[in-house]
Amino acid sequence: FEIAADGNITLDAAGTIALEAGTTVTGDLTVNGDNVTFQSANADDPFVEIKNTANDSQEARLRFTKTRGGADAQDGDNIGGIEFYGTDDGTPSEQKYANILVEIDDATSGQESGKMSIFVANHDGDAQRGLLLQGGSVDNEVDVTLGNGSASLTTIAGDLDIDGDKITTAGA
């Protein structure tokens, strides 16, 4: 079945539109909607791959873009996030076990810096930041914060190389 159209084609189905065979899109694909769900009842699926087959040294890319519809960005704007959900062993209810969040730290033109946080569910299921990478206040500075609270344990396997000249402790 082939349709040769000189304009747009609209499928306005009362139910689901099913593609029963493998489908290949040979041009760019834009989806203007709020949600896309990939669902499978098979082990280790669904699997999403972003693949670059060019014979060069360049990578495949996944980009998150946040714009304010032409307005200026603001400090603290969330740029992109990845969330990891599973169920618990009681209800079983859906539980967020971890997430990655990228924000604008400083949106000032010429001083742009980012902020990346990795959160994990702690003892009561709340997600707390365990790793913070944040652009500094000068060029070529990135600050790192590990752990969350005084009960956190930071373990370093192997050697610790300190290139600076100061080691400080809380309150010092």
How would you class 105 by CB atoms within 10 Å of its CB: exposed for 0-12, middle for 13-18, buried for 19 or more?
buried
So what's the pLDDT on residue 11? 84
Q: What is the mean pLDDT of residues 69-78?
A: 95
CA distance 74 to 58: 32
Please indicate, yes or no, whether the overall pTM of this predicted structure exceeds 0.75: yes
Q: Residue 39 pLDDT more than 80?
A: yes
